[in-house]
Amino acid sequence: MREILFTEKVPVRGKYDVIVAGGGVAGVAAALAARRAGKKVLLIEKTITPGGLATIGLVNFFVPMCNGRGTVIIKGMAEEFLRLSIRYGFDTIPECWKNGTAGVDTPRYMTRYSPQIFALALTEIMAEEGVDLRYDSIVANVEMQKNEYGMHCNGVYVESKSGREFFEAGVIVDTTGDADVLFRAGVPTIQGKNYFSYFAKLLTLESCQNAVEKKNIGESYRVCTGGFASLYGHNHPEGMKFFTGTSAEDVTEFTVLNQLEMLRKLKNDDRNTREIVTLPTMPNYRTTRRIDGNVTLREEDAYRHFDDSIGAICDFDRRDFLYEIPYGCMIRSGFDNLITAGRCTAGEGYAWDVLRVIPPAIITGQAAGLAAAQALDTKRPVYDIETASLQNTLAGQNVMIHFDDSLIPAETGKHVEDDTGHV
């Protein structure tokens, strides 16, 4: 490929303690956590709407946050966000969790919500708490320099309607979902592969009637699909390639093929009987790029305690299954001020699936924001902070750091499948 050399003087537009790149749920959690720890925080988001896949990706489902036996496992900011997601919009929290009768084998603690209204609530909370926001701005590159700890990131280049600008930062949290910052900084990353899937929210005359009868607007949604592949790859068309999500060509091809497929299916209906509320405005990729962290969470780590756990999580599809998230999954030694969270966290196979969904993404975001603040306060590299101190802070914010062994079932090989929804 032909190349040209491009040089330009770029204005330095600001200096922050913590810059959060990407305003999905993990990014918003990281920004709020760092802000609540007293830091000057900038959140930079590519679109004009916070929440990422959980809002503009139209994934509107907080997967179960309890173990299926009546104990809430995922708490802290994940529970705060669950409440926030339904503060101004509908919910589907099972009745037993509202009237205090949840227990063994009752429906699990989860909810659907309005993705658009949740996005508004996320903007509101960040504005109220003093997180500086840059929407419609993409973190395009980083400036790296060697220091006594290895590689240090001085700040990020941001592209927007204002042109190209530079923002300096003490710590950068990569919550782009695609590990854009880490990749450009030279942190080892792992490329994922994606099946053909794409969905939108559909209203039909019938679904609207149903909502009116039940007096619940949440009942009006139906799902309308382009590609229809499941989390496990079922329905991925035979012979079709897998998608990466990390090049403009791939994103365009994935989107165009999916939109054409959605339209092909829609053409079968009477055009006066249905309407799409909104198409997803970010692609429905589950796994694009993630950190090759100091530690990788694996399926065999179920029920394992980690000394550096930043939070316990449960499995959305299998009751009883518990994991702890090691802090090592969010960092890489040799990069002193880069940390990640959300779906860029290091996990493998099914363990990564459990790690990347909305509630755990919020927990890793919360931990990343607090770890960033702690690294700055103690003048330590993010990969070398006192994890016991981080755990104390997280526990003080209602995060379950270690699950209790009494929650481990007698027969750990067996599990009850829970088809809780679309993940």
Ligand X SMILES: Cc1cc2nc3c(=O)[nH]c(=O)nc-3n(C[C@H](O)[C@H](O)[C@H](O)COP(=O)(O)OP(=O)(O)OC[C@H]3O[C@@H](n4cnc5c(N)ncnc54)[C@H](O)[C@@H]3O)c2cc1C
The least CB distance from residue 144 to ligand X, in Å, is: 16
Q: Which one, 346 or 361, has the nearer CB to ligand X?
A: 361
Q: Which one, 227 or 326, has the nearer CB to ligand X?
A: 227
CA distance 44 to 135: 6
The least CB distance from residue 379 to ligand X, in Å, is: 28
The least CB distance from residue 327 to ligand X, in Å, is: 17
The least CB distance from residue 270 to ligand X, in Å, is: 28
Q: Which one, 86 or 282, has the nearer CB to ligand X?
A: 282
Query: How many other C-beta atoms lie within 10 A of the C-beta of residue 185?
Result: 23
Phi, psi torsion values for 197, nearest 5 degrees: -150, 145
CA distance 159 to 57: 22
Q: Give the residue carrying structure tokens 């975001």.
A: 365
Q: Which one, 318 or 343, has the nearer CB to ligand X?
A: 343
Q: Which one, 53 or 86, has the nearer CB to ligand X?
A: 53
Please give the residue ranges that form the binding site for ligand X (CB under 6 A): 21-27, 44-47, 52-54, 57, 59, 61, 63, 138-139, 175-178, 180, 197, 282, 284-286, 342-343, 356-358, 361, 421-423
The least CB distance from residue 221 to ligand X, in Å, is: 13
Q: Which one, 53 or 102, has the nearer CB to ligand X?
A: 53
Q: Which one, 23 or 76, has the nearer CB to ligand X?
A: 23
Phi-psi category of residue 193: left, alpha or beta, with phi > 0 → left and psi -120 to 50 → alpha: beta
3-state secondary structure string, the chain?
CCCCCCCCCCCEEEEEEEEEECCEHHHHHHHHHHHHCCCCEEEECCCCCCEHHHCCCCCCEECCCECCCCCECCCHHHHHHHHHHCCCCCCCCCHHHHCCCCCCCCCCCCEECCHHHHHHHHHHHHHHHCCEEECCCEEEEEEEEEECCEEEEEEEEEEECCEEEEEEEEEEEECCCCCHHHHHHCCCEEECCECCEEEEEEEEHHHHHHHHHHCCHHHHCEEEEEEECCCCCCCCCCCCCCECCCCHHHHHHHHHHHHHHHHHHHCCCCCCCEEEEECCCCCCCCCCEEECCCCCECHHHCCCCCCCEEEEEECCCECCCEEEEEHHHHCCCCECCEEECHHHCCECHHHHHHHHCHHHHHHHHHHHHHHHHHHHHHCCCHHHCCHHHHHHHHHHCCCCCCCCHHHCCCCCCCCCECCCCCC
The least CB distance from residue 343 to ligand X, in Å, is: 4
Q: Which one, 83 or 101, has the nearer CB to ligand X?
A: 83
The least CB distance from residue 112 to ligand X, in Å, is: 9
The least CB distance from residue 282 to ligand X, in Å, is: 5
The least CB distance from residue 197 to ligand X, in Å, is: 5
Q: Which one, 314 or 399, has the nearer CB to ligand X?
A: 314
Q: Which one, 220 or 284, has the nearer CB to ligand X?
A: 284
The least CB distance from residue 385 to ligand X, in Å, is: 21
